[in-house]
Structure 1
């Protein structure tokens, strides 16, 4: 529906016909007919304002007519008793307030940026030199909602021994802790060998088994005092 047809509908709903509406607002019938025939955009703004005042709507409701929901609502409003119009207006105002409050709340839902250590890698294959990795440590700012609770460092997985769960080149968060439960994935330092990422199992004979997820890799076995847990991978 174009703007002119919409305006004509509102006028007829309000007064029955264009002539009666023109008389009610003190405007020449021919002026309103001309606006409806030649187009609203060609009319004088003061005439549009006077017509809209008579209909109880805002000029922008006509000039910027885009939504059929808005236009249909205006038609219904004109047919309601003033007391019912007020109820509709109050409800719409409450909905707008609720919408604006939701926008404000969503702004505060975003967690602040978090500075977290990053840049180091862990092997997911053969262990890598931990001392060399220390020189690569940097601090990175990450959006708070992307950082899991308890995360202490972001580490890059270098190797495929923990695939398909941890892909080569992917990044994982770890929580620093000296011990983990059997079967949990940990970043460990093996004395005189280096750092690696494996599932860890402590055996009754005081040895540790480091196990890959990728079955192409064999288990690794060490004495307990040769393995130091750096932290647990947060999944």
Structure 2
């Protein structure tokens, strides 16, 4: 199943029709239908972002061919918020909690998704690149 079909099915699970969704997301119906027929890669990033934000789905997951809901802080339960706050306040306990949850081996490096396509808006390579924008050059870089 293509990502376009997955997206269409996801929309139809939540709304009566694609036309209803298009009105709610404030995009022309033909634009939304065009995404399903021409593909996501032929769609402007503004429209894909608008759809993802409206549906609360992860745009990076969508690019990778899956529908994944974003977790927003306002959707966390009160208990989840308390656990997060307690975790942040107990810095010395974080390594033990990480081991308990099995996340101590994960290396979280900020990345930027980059892609290049053939001339027909078909992806031929998608890579994660480290986000180097936060690093300032020092004197040795000049």
Scaled by the length of structure 2, the TM-score of the pair is 0.50
- The CA RMSD measured in Å over matched residues stands at 3.1
8 A contact 1:5–1:36 mirrored in 2: yes
Equivalence for 2:131: none
Unaligned runs of 5+ in 2: 85-97, 107-142
Residue 102 (structure 2) aligned to one of 96, 99, 104: 99
| 1:90-169 to 2 correspondences below 5 Å | 98-101=101-104, 103=105
Question: For the pair shown, which has the larger CA radius of gyration, 1 or 2?
Answer: 1
What secondary structure, in the 3-state scheme, does the structure 2 residue paired with 1:100 have? Answer: coil
Equivalence for 2:24: 24
**Does 1:49 pair with 2:49?**
yes
8 A contact 1:14–1:55 mirrored in 2: no
Query: As a proportion of its length, which structure holds more strand?
Result: 1
| Residues 43, 99 of structure 1: alpha-carbon distance in 2 compared, 3 angstrom cutoff | farther
Matched length: 86
Shift of 1:12: 1.0
Runs of 4+ in structure 1 deviating by more than 3 angstroms, as ranges, are none
| 1:1-235 to 2 correspondences below 5 Å | 1-65=1-65, 71=67, 74=69, 86=76, 98-101=101-104, 103=105
Unaligned runs of 5+ in 1: 78-82, 105-235
Scaled by the length of structure 1, the TM-score of the pair is 0.32
